[in-house]
Chains A and B, each alone.
Chain A
Amino acid sequence: MNNHYYGWGLPIDISTHGWQIDRLINVMHVIMAVLFVGWVLFLIYALIRFRARAGHKAEYHVKHFKTPTFLEVAVAVTEVILLTAFSFPIWHSYTQEFPSRDKAVQIKVVAEQFAWNIHYSGKDGIFARSSPKLMTSTNPLGLDPDDPNGKDDAATINQLHIPVNTPVIVDLMSKDVIHSFSLPVMRVKQDAIPGQSVPLWFEAKQPGEFEIACAQLCGLGHYRMRGFFVVEEKDKFEQWMTEQSTQ
């Protein structure tokens, strides 16, 4: 059903920021291929031309090659360009250029062995209080039932729905061990570290049904820590939110 999203190359990219990452990966691989092919061609040529055979002697004094120095400088300059023109700006945007919280859908994702607890703040943008002491199997987030801010909150297990073309801010946490929240089609990945809350943002530009993956070994259930990631039209999303928050 969703095989046209994934194949042998980069997965489909439905995010607003992912194209920069893909471009960087592609540019890098072209540079790597050029360097590698150059090395290998030189290597093969040298092996053939300078193979030991009757009448062939090795040269003690070999000329100094200028090309390698030129190559080193070119590599260094290329790396500076990759850093300053590509990587630094992407990371800056990824970690600093957050959309304003009142315009974004705010979600807390709390990872645990072996599921994703998703907590929506709802329209008021305020999350209900939560505490480890209140956590039970039916209340895995430990939400305070008496907190009035929690009325429009929604909490799910492994169901991450977001509206298309809307910025989303996720505050990522973990209850127990280090997990890693990964949305391959969004080019989003962030370690969920217990004791820390790390914010991340993203925006999807295409609806569909995708998945959340755990990208850090977290125990025997690491391989099945799969969540459902659904991007849908805004009205469908709001309908779903209403359904979730009344439960």
Chain B
Amino acid sequence: MDDGTIDPMTHDYSHELPFWRKYIFSTDHKMIGIQYALTGLIFLLFGFGLMMLMRWQLAYPGQPLPGIGTWFSENVMPGGIMLPEFYNQLGAMHGTIMVFLGVVPLAVGGFGNFVLPLQIGAPDMAFPKLNMVSYWFLLTGGVIMFASFFVPGGAAQSGWTSYAPLSVIASSGQTWWLVGMTFLINSSLLGSVNFIVTTAQLRADGLSFNRLPFFVWAQFVTSFLLLLAFPPLMAAGILQLMDRVAHTSFFMPTGLVVSGQLLEGISGGGNAVLWQHLFWFLAHPEVYVLILPAMGIVAEVIACNTRKPLYGYKALVGSTIFLGFMSFIVWAHHMYLTGMGQNLSAFFQVTTMIISIPSIIILTTLILSLWGGAIRFTVPMLFALAFLPMFGIGGLTGLPLGLNAADIHLHDTYYVIGHFHYVVAPGTIFALFAGIYHWFPKATGRKMNDFLGRLHFWPSFVLMNCIFMPMLIQGLAGVSRRLYDPMQYAHAQPTQPLNVFISISAWCLALAQIPFIINFFWSLFAGKKVDQNPWEATTLEWTAPSPPPHGNFAQVPTVYRGPYEYSTPNAKKDFWPQSMKETN
């Protein structure tokens, strides 16, 4: 058609590929994006399941789990009562799976892959075959992580943080974790190369960087974080693998005595804190990998549902880039209590305080974007709006943790767990739900059911707060994290009723996801059919058919204006698509 888009009525679909090349080994970014998204959603559910098991033990320590307790082997839950080793496995794998197999594949692999080429007017990613390989690396890593539960000794159980020397002397599941991580790291690495090159090279004519939708900026900066921060963790993983398998002593100091025996056969001379430095060098930027795509999604949904341009686009983009840089120099705020002196800790405190500024700017500009709008409370908008105060709580609770003096009391307590879950759960995951409801019509040609969407949203919003607000209270009371049985400590006993409340809320939160799961599958077949732009949005993905065919556009589109021309004065409608030449 004239604007470069494909007319679904005349497009020749006859040269489409056989089933296994279209759906299994696809090189089309949309199919790969859906593969990533479905894989991510399944692992999110699985990781949630692991936590629900843990919540039984926390609410009712030492009690047999009714009903499903007998499904588990006597090695991990004899008589339905969880063993401490199994609790630690659930904890370590919950973290690993949620971060690396749940959120990142869905936020970056899923949304990034599906939406980014469409939003920049490209026919696909720059390297489609590499894209396919990235997905299969992810799935391989996921299978390895899942399989690790079934090896002797069980899965990794030294926390998702895998601190040495505990992780070095741990059972074989930890080796599986390291091998699995190798695949996941390389999946992200290859993916990030693809995203960077695609964004730099394949933008439509007229789509300069300051006309890019903020979603694309967010994915672009995220890709740099993945590209540059993951390799030191790969290095650390190789060193830990060598310590475990080749009995080197990278992280093993001299003279270790384990269970009363001097550890023989190793040379010693290693440094346990070295692991932490290398790990957190990745893991801090990793948390910005978890939040930036979510902010990107929220920005798109807000612009579309306020019918006005985003407030402060330049501040938003500038803050995101600055945040990306700063994220590389704050990592040791996770290590304040390792014996750090005055100067090093002062440096990291200062950088940590500085990095809070762009986060506050981003949140404030998103909230200010509502001012003067005509706000449509669609289901995606509900999730995007909820993201704002939830991320606010998450970000604010990071401040006491960022000051090492306050961290003395709060380090490794439930305050930390409450802090980061606020950011990731009612923060990022809500943004991801917003994205699913928002882009489902583009991917499938059908809308999700509105009522079921609201039934999903409201209980989830309330319950998320019921789960994580009490954790902040527990943390202030000094309750440590990763405790199989909190009742052993006097200072943890008074807040034990909160554990019951949290656990019940968590199980109810699981039930609240049922409307979503039903809605998702039902709408695939019976959702209301839509045309290419059901939300009346301005960005390029909404000019392609729903779903777009392979290649997306008949020819490279031309872009004439910025991404958020809503309610432009003198325009006939309240939205003016980027690639539409004349006003409509």
Residues of A within 8 A of B (CB): 2-3, 5-11, 20-22, 24-25, 28-29, 31-32, 35-36, 39-40, 42-43, 46-47, 50-53, 56-62, 65, 68, 71-72, 75-76, 79-80, 82-83, 86-88, 90-92, 94-96, 112-113, 132-133, 135-137, 140, 142, 175-178, 180, 182, 184-185, 187-191, 193-196, 198, 210-211, 213-224, 226
Contact = CB atoms under 8 A, between A and B. Distances in A.
Given A60-B567, A178-B163, A7 B408 contact: no
Max chain A Cβ within 10 angstroms of own Cβ: one of B373, B404, B484, B493: B373
Max chain A Cβ within 10 angstroms of own Cβ: one of B270, B367, B403, B574: B403
A184 B372 contact: no
Given A57-B567, A211-B491, A217 B256 contact: no
Contact of A11 (B342, B353, B385, B477): B477
Nearest to B401: A28
A21 to B, nearest CB: 6
Nearest to B364: A68
A110 to B, nearest CB: 10
- Chain B contact-residue range equals 35 or more
Contacts of A8: 473, 477, 494-495
A216 B412 contact: yes
A195 B338 CA distance: 12
Contacts of B482: 217, 222
Contacts, number: 297
Contacts of A46: 367, 370-371, 373, 375
A217 B166 contact: yes
B337 A191 contact: yes
B411 A219 contact: no
Max chain A Cβ within 10 angstroms of own Cβ: one of B273, B484, B491: B491
Nearest to A88: B346
B340 to A, nearest CB: 8
B399 A28 contact: yes
Interface string B405-425: 110111111000000000000
Nearest to A221: B84
A222 B409 contact: no
A215 B412 contact: yes
Contacts of A36: 389, 392-393, 396
B256 A176 contact: yes
Contact of A59 (B253, B357, B488, B567): B567
B372 A62 contact: yes
B262 A135 contact: yes
B159 A60 contact: no
27 contacts: A6-B490, A8-B473, A29-B400, A36-B392, A39-B388, A43-B389, A51-B374, A52-B377, A57-B574, A58-B307, A59-B372, A60-B568, A65-B368, A86-B405, A87-B349, A87-B403, A132-B255, A176-B259, A196-B253, A211-B490, A211-B491, A215-B413, A217-B158, A217-B163, A217-B166, A220-B85, A220-B157
B152 interface: no
B528 interface: no
Contacts of B485: 223-224
B486 to A, nearest CB: 7
B165 A194 contact: yes
B104 to A, nearest CB: 23
A95 B342 contact: yes
Given A20-B405, A32-B396, A195-B270, A47 B375 contact: yes
B84 A182 contact: no
Interface string B250-275: 00011111111010000000111100
B403 A224 contact: no
A234 B257 CA distance: 35
Given A40-B389, A189-B408, A50 B360 contact: no
Given A46-B367, A51-B375, A76-B357, A58 B396 contact: no
B357 A223 contact: no
A217 B159 contact: yes
B356 A75 contact: yes
Contacts of B349: 83, 87-88
Q: Which 3 A-B pairs have the closest CB atoms?
A: A195-B253, A90-B405, A59-B372
A166 to B, nearest CB: 21
Contacts of A140: 260
Nearest to B403: A87
A5 B491 contact: yes
Given A83-B403, A195-B253, 12 more contacts: A42-B367, A46-B375, A58-B306, A58-B374, A71-B364, A79-B353, A87-B405, A132-B255, A133-B262, A194-B253, A198-B339, A220-B484
B311 interface: yes
Contact of B256 (A86, A190, A194): A194
B257 A50 contact: no
Interface string B492-534: 1111000000000000000000000000000000000000000
A215 B212 CA distance: 46
Given A62-B372, A90-B405, A190-B337, A135 B257 contact: yes
B129 interface: no
Contacts of A25: 400, 406, 409-410, 476
B478 A51 contact: no
Max chain A Cβ within 10 angstroms of own Cβ: one of B254, B482, B568: B482
Contacts of B451: none
Contacts of B84: 220-223
B260 A96 contact: no
Contact of A175 (B256, B270, B273, B306): B256
Contacts of B88: 217, 219-220, 222
B581 interface: no
B489 interface: yes
Given A76-B357, A83-B349, A195-B253, A50 B385 contact: no
B353 A50 contact: no
B238 interface: no
B341 interface: yes
A39 B363 contact: yes
Nearest to B353: A79
Contacts of B337: 180, 189-191
A196 B276 CA distance: 15
A126 B311 CA distance: 66
Contacts of B477: 6-11
A136 B483 CA distance: 28
Contact of A52 (B166, B309, B375): B375
A32 B398 CA distance: 10
A140 to B, nearest CB: 8
Contacts of B558: none
